[in-house]
Amino acid sequence: MARYIGRHGTARVAKAVLLGAVPPLMLRTEADPEGTPKDAFDRIRAAVAADRSQFYWE
């Protein structure tokens, strides 16, 4: 979509949404002591790797 708008302009485009996969920093660090612990993200990655559809179902 961004390429189309860049090439042809917005005359024929009513609306556009550009979504990115860059989440805010949620990891617990020294700068953010109230963030989520790394082991929580490790469990999510393991569950997705083991059975993606079941992870999303739950």
pLDDT for 35-57, tens place per residue?
999 999 999 999 999 999 999 99
Q: Do residues 56 and 49 lie in contact, with contact meaning Cβ atoms separated by under 8 Å? A: no
CA distance 1 to 11: 13
Domain coordinates of the chain in residue numbers?
Answer: 23-58
Q: Report whether pLDDT(28) > 90.
A: yes
Does this model's pTM top 0.85? My answer is no
Instruction: Using alpha carbons, list the distances in angstroms from residue 18 to 1, 2, 12, 15.
Output: 8, 8, 17, 10
Q: What is the pLDDT of residue 21?
A: 67
